[in-house]
């Protein structure tokens, strides 16, 4: 007696006249070959694929914005340090000039 295969008895959730070829692991509904797509090694239905890619895109856009803010803060801090150091060097040079440490040639 052959083993009972539940996928053979199932029909596509979107096309009732078609035999199901796969079950979506997210929504657990059965679909025919034309209604599923492979995504990262899994067969997903269109609705679950859309949900997963939209969620992933939102997460990536948030991470991109966070990285942009971090980069801006680091560049701002580096420019503050650079201009502070340059100002101190110019101040020391001006102080030396006032003390007569630099000689002007006529």
In a domain, 93, yes or no: no
pLDDT for 77 equals 96
Please state, in angstroms and rounded to a whole number, the distance separating the CA atoms of residues 11 and 33: 11
Report if residue 20 sits inside a domain: yes
Give, in order, the Cα–Cα distances in Å from 27 to each of 1, 9, 45, 54: 32, 18, 8, 16
Residues of the domain holding 32: 6-76
Q: b/e map of 73-85 (b: 16 or more CB within 10 Å)?
A: eeeeeeeeeeeee
Q: What is the pLDDT of residues 66-79, one digit of tens each?
A: 899 999 999 999 99
Tell me whether residue 81 is in a domain: no
Nearest to 49 by CA among 26, 22, 30: 26
Query: Which pLDDT value is given to residue 71?
Result: 95
User: Would you say residue 101 has pLDDT above 60?
Assistant: no
- Residue 84: predicted pLDDT: 94
Q: What is the total count of domains within the chain?
A: 1
Per-residue pLDDT at 1: 45
pLDDT tens track for 19-50:
998 999 999 999 999 999 888 888 899 888 88
């Amino acid at each position: 007696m052959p083993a009972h295969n539940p996928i053979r008895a199932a029909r596509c959730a979107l096309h009732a006249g078609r035999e199901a070829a796969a079950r979506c692991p997210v929504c657990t509904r059965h679909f025919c070959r034309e209604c599923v797509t492979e995504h990262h090694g899994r067969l997903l239905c269109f609705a679950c694929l859309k949900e997963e890619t939209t969620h992933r895109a939102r997460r990536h856009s948030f991470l991109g914005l966070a990285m942009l803010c971090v980069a801006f803060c680091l560049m701002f801090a580096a420019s503050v340090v650079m201009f502070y150091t340059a100002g101190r060097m110019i101040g020391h040079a001006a102080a030396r000039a006032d003390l007569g440490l630099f000689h002007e040639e006529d």
